[in-house]
Chains A and B, each alone.
Chain A
């Protein structure tokens, strides 16, 4: 049986990203995630290529698949034309569809990404907008960002007449009809379904973990907690 492998192969990125891996480790040598984490793209490709359901399921439930930074540095270097970064995308999607992502700390973070970037897209038409880059959530942005944030209308007015207003220009307000089109695109193409799926499994897991549901507290814990640092 290779049920997970078959499910993965339905994704065109698997067909593009996995030819035949010869286990050379070039991808691991260049991978920034492999330098920082206990992470090895070569092993991931090898596991997927084994078609072994048990091993692939273990991967889908693990922190491992969530370490990749999606830089795609592995893609031009693989001597066999594989793209580990694409394989990771497919594993992550399957892990979410099957609800396995909530079984790992890194996987559970998907809720925080859905509730920040995902909801920004639906509400504003952008992945990020200045009002959502809160200095207290982004200490690394430093005092200049705090100054921009606190004076946003004055600062952006230097570069555009349409800050948070309709019309052309940077950081403008996107009109209602456009946002409606984006919503409908998410509905017909599976984007909404994935959002709902992330919420559903997160809610189940949060109950199991004693949060009483995927509350803001649960979401913030997935956003801020790193048990590797607590060791």
Chain B
């Protein structure tokens, strides 16, 4: 298979008028990213995105940890579609890869087994009195960002270039298993040559890093993280990826899925605390960004307004490389500039003794 194969995996993406569904994980750990998505779309690009107070979780984490049955998640999803119809929209966009996988799976199941759609309609009507029409277009929010990447490039103030060397920044992209492994045709580039994040990186001046474990899972593994006793699975899988990418010396990691972004960030902290190992330059961790944060930085947004102070691995080394002007003392300020204390230090943000970064290929 050739890299250009991604071109065969195209999907139609609506240009405007989106119904926005939030993500449990993204809104918890990256609330600034959800805000940035809306600001970029609405304010910078003039798009219409509806943020509905009535929608809920899709319950996908419960579904993939097997406490929410198929019929139940189908009905919850049907309710979201009904809300979209009631608000007058046809293009459903989800801010979460688990949800995106769920929506894709259920729409396809309804297609293939029409009796399941019938039963869902009955259940929804019985439970809520609502009825629904399926969306005309379904996309993940990163698809939308990808779709508008050239318009963002036109407004770019800080490309993904190292200001000290003039070289493109080296970026590891992680698209998240459920973006394209469940239904490859529904993800830009499919599951083998995903292009959704790579397309943004290239359009904004960076260089995509290829490395052996690029397609490996971040390690979430649902019940393997949710239950404390199983978390060894989760950290071991993240570690496998980190060890594989470190020799390629990435400047940062960008994730499609909020869960992956959180795990690759937090497990670097854990590995550093447990084993004293770090994977980035100078004995520190590799910064992990969401694609909204990456877009926000190239558009000149303030990193603390993007919520990057909520990361465990410090992002300052990356900000310095990009020439971002930021106020270091503003990092831990609350609303109205009130100082609210700061987190305890961690090995991942200081020079560790054992660093995999310098391993020769």
Contacts and interface: CB of A to CB of B under 8 A. Distances in A.
A and B: partners?
A: yes
A172 interface: yes
B284 interface: no
Interface in B8-67: 22, 24-28, 31-32, 34-35, 51-54, 56-57, 59-62, 64-67
Given A71-B221, A113-B223, A223-B228, A189 B69 contact: yes
A41 interface: no
Interface in B94-140: 101, 109, 112-113, 116, 123-124, 126-128
Contacts of B67: 110, 113-114, 117-118, 194-195, 198
Interface stretch (B149-157, B159-167, B244-252, B307-315): B307-315
Nearest to A151: B340
Contacts of A32: 216-217, 219, 221, 233, 237
Interface stretch (B74-82, B201-209, B317-325, B353-361): B74-82
Contact of B343 (A76, A114, A147): A147
Given A16-B112, A141-B266, A130 B70 contact: no
The interface size bin for chain B is: 35 or more
Nearest to B63: A89
A167 interface: yes
B346 to A, nearest CB: 6
A8 interface: no
A209 B309 CA distance: 46
Nearest to B109: A12
A170 B226 contact: no
Given A128-B61, A157-B335, A171-B28, A143 B346 contact: yes
A182 B76 contact: yes
Contacts of B35: 159-160, 170
> Chain B interface mostly helix, strand, loop or mixed?
helix
Contacts of B72: 185-186, 189-191, 194
A145 interface: yes
B223 A109 contact: yes
A168 B79 contact: no
Contacts of A13: 70, 109
Contacts of A114: 67
B126 to A, nearest CB: 5
Given A36-B232, A198-B67, A127 B127 contact: no
Contacts of B240: 35
B276 to A, nearest CB: 15
Given A70-B223, A170-B26, A178-B54, 16 more contacts: A16-B109, A32-B233, A35-B236, A66-B223, A69-B233, A71-B177, A109-B230, A113-B65, A114-B67, A143-B312, A154-B334, A159-B35, A170-B31, A181-B127, A190-B72, A223-B227
A129 B31 contact: no
Interface residues of A, number: 88
A126 B216 contact: no
B182 A75 contact: yes
Interface string A179-212: 0011011111111001100100000000000000
B274 to A, nearest CB: 10
Contact of A117 (B62, B269, B340, B344): B62
Contacts of A174: 56
A18 interface: no
Contacts of B305: 158
Interface in A98-144: 106, 109-110, 112-114, 116-118, 121, 125-130, 133, 137, 140-144
Q: Which 8 A-B pairs have the closest CB atoms?
A: A69-B221, A154-B334, A170-B27, A191-B72, A147-B343, A143-B344, A184-B127, A127-B61
A146 B236 CA distance: 23
A189 B56 contact: no
B258 to A, nearest CB: 11
B56 A178 contact: yes
B222 interface: yes
A29 to B, nearest CB: 12
Residue with the highest number of chain B CB atoms closer than 10 Å, among A33, A110, A155, A174: A155
B343 A158 contact: no
Contacts of B229: 109, 222-226
Given A70-B64, A194-B69, A158 B334 contact: yes
B70 A116 contact: no
Contacts of A37: 233
Nearest to A226: B229
Contacts of A12: 70, 109, 112-113, 116
A140 B235 contact: yes
A160 B31 CA distance: 8
A147 B69 CA distance: 36
21 contacts: A13-B109, A35-B237, A36-B232, A67-B224, A73-B215, A73-B217, A76-B181, A106-B230, A121-B62, A126-B24, A126-B27, A127-B57, A130-B28, A140-B235, A142-B273, A154-B334, A154-B338, A155-B334, A170-B35, A171-B31, A185-B79
